[in-house]
Amino acid sequence: MKRYILFTGLFLFFALSSKAQSKPYNVVFDLTSKDTVDHKMVIRWIKEILSSDPQAKLEVVFYAQSLDMITKGKSIVAGDIESIAKNKNVAFRVCEIAMKNNKIEKDQLLTGVETVPDGIYEILLKQKDGFAYIKAAR
């Protein structure tokens, strides 16, 4: 009887834990900060998530004052962004309205960074698609 209870308990534990792990890990990060500490933090989070779940789908949306992070000659994490952007499950997207307001042209963006017409709307679309929302700020 004890063996039956133990077996049933183990079966339920593994069945429930495997089901919890099978849910998609989709996150959209909202970055508006000019602070390079926040820029490094986002890169660290992405690396940690991909390390724990390589199938995670991640997107960082840049607008307001955050554009230095994805601009050539200004980004302190340029190498990380260009390397991570090669992963098909990670997207770096910058708001074209913010680009216009900050006088940034597409050719000034790091390799792998894409544009979207409206950063806030992009975040709303991702949430509608089931992505969790994280405001990247300390």
pLDDT digits (tens, 9 = 90+) for 31-63: 999 999 999 999 999 999 999 999 999 999 999
pLDDT of 134 strictly over 90: yes
Quick one: DSSP state of residue 37?
A: H
Average pLDDT over residues 75-95: 98
**CA gap 95, 121 in Å, rounded:** 9
> What CATH code is carried by the domain that includes residue 122?
3.40.1260.10
Q: Is the pTM of this model over 0.85?
A: no
Q: Give the range of the structural domain holding residue 44, as residue numbers without chain letter.
A: 24-135
Domains in the chain: how many in total? Answer: 1
Residue 92, in any domain of the structure: yes
| Phi, psi torsion values for 28, nearest 5 degrees | -115, 125
